[in-house]
């Protein structure tokens, strides 16, 4: 079974721009969660989508948003990019929402200049 | 107090020895517990999940969970240089009703010296 895929793998943007990242979960997985990883803050939860609905949201500003499609693929969007948004953005999928095991994709490394 | 705490390391162990990693968590209602391994520049890779008190073994890895003490540990037996990585403890207090509430510790860096 193919794993979680994320596109693009690397991205360079400038302050003020916006960016959209994509995640395709493992086949059959319906829950997709997004995380931000930085050296200073570690791995932080952004939000979870299940059945096209946002279930939970972490402590991030409204510039961070996401959505999920009927095929469980998910996108996250960051508007008005700031230098501090430079990070590794990770998507993880699980069979269902809740306490299920999550499997991570390779991540998208975003650099904001 | 952080929700999930780990010693940042580095934990230096000789090849062939046992590496012992510890993790404590603050929320007693936590349901499931995970250890992930992350190599530099890569994404986290699941090593082990554990849901009930006691030990769970998988190859050279053993996870131990003690919910009363809010403590979960990972033992790596016969450590190999390829085990050198950062190990992330993750605790999920989510439920089907509430959704995912997975929180990560800061990770313990392990160095296995030949």
Q: What is the pLDDT along chain B (114 residues), one digit of tens a residue?
A: 779 999 999 999 999 999 999 999 998 888 899 999 999 999 999 999 999 999 999 999 999 999 999 999 999 999 999 999 999 999 998 887 788 889 999 999 999 999
Burial of B37 (C-beta count, 10 Å sphere; 0-12/13-18/19+): buried
Using the predicted structure, report yes or no on whether residue A1 has a pLDDT greater than 80. Answer: no
Burial of A101 (C-beta count, 10 Å sphere; 0-12/13-18/19+): middle
Nearest residue of B to residue A50 by CA position?
Answer: B99
Which of B34, B46, B107 lies at the smallest CB-CB distance from A42?
B107
B1 vs A17, residue with greater confidence: A17
Which of A43, A58, A109 has the most B C-beta neighbours within 10 Å, making it the best mutation to test the interface with B?
A43
A to B CB pairs, distance under 8 Å? 73
How many angstroms away from the CA of A16 is the closest CA of chain B? 26
Alpha-carbon distance of B112 to B56, in angstroms, equals: 23
Which of A49, A99, A100, A105 has the most B C-beta neighbours within 10 Å, making it the best mutation to test the interface with B?
A99
pLDDT at B95: 80
pLDDT at B94: 82
Mean pLDDT of A48-54: 95
CB-CB under 8 Å, B43 with A98: no
Best CA proximity match to A33, nearest among A9, A21, A20, A49? A49
**16-55 in B: which are within 8 Å (CB) of A?**
31-32, 34, 36, 42-46, 49, 51
Which residues of A make CB contacts under 8 Å with B?
31, 33, 35, 42-45, 48, 50, 55-56, 88, 90, 94, 96-107
Residues on chain A touching B36 (C-beta within 8 angstroms):
104
β-pairing, B61-66 vs B71-76, is antiparallel
pLDDT at B2: 79
pLDDT at B29: 86
Q: Give me the percent of chain A exceeding a pLDDT of 90.
A: 90
Alpha-carbon distance of B49 to B65, in angstroms, equals: 10
Distances, alpha carbon A90 to alpha carbons A36, A75, A108, B77, in Å: 6, 11, 7, 29
Which of A48, A90, A104 lies at the smallest CB-CB distance from B99?
A48
CB-CB under 8 Å, B43 with A90: yes
Nearest residue of A to residue B104 by CA position?
Answer: A43
């Amino acid at each position: 079974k193919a794993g979680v895929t994320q596109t693009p793998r690397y991205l360079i943007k400038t302050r003020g721009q916006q960016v959209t990242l994509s995640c395709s979960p493992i086949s059959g997985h319906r829950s997709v969660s997004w995380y931000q990883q930085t050296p200073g803050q570690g791995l932080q939860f952004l939000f979870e989508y299940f059945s096209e609905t946002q279930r939970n949201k972490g402590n991030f500003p409204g510039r961070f948003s996401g959505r999920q499609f009927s095929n469980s693929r998910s996108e996250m969007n960051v508007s008005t990019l700031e230098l501090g948004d430079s990070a590794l953005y990770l998507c993880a999928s699980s069979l269902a929402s809740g306490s299920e095991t999550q499997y991570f994709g390779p991540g998208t490394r975003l650099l904001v200049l | 107090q952080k929700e999930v705490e780990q010693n940042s390391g580095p934990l230096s162990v000789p090849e062939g020895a046992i590496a012992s990693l510890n993790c404590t968590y603050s929320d007693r209602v936590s349901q499931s517990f995970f250890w992930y391994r992350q190599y530099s520049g890569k994404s986290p890779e699941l090593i082990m999940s554990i849901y009930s008190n006691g030990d769970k073994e998988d190859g050279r890895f053993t996870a131990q969970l003690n919910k009363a003490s809010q403590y979960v540990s990972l033992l790596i037996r016969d450590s190999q240089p390829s085990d050198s990585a950062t190990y992330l403890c993750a605790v999920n207090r989510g439920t089907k009703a509430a959704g995912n509430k997975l929180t990560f510790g800061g990770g313990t860096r392990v160095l296995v010296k030949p």
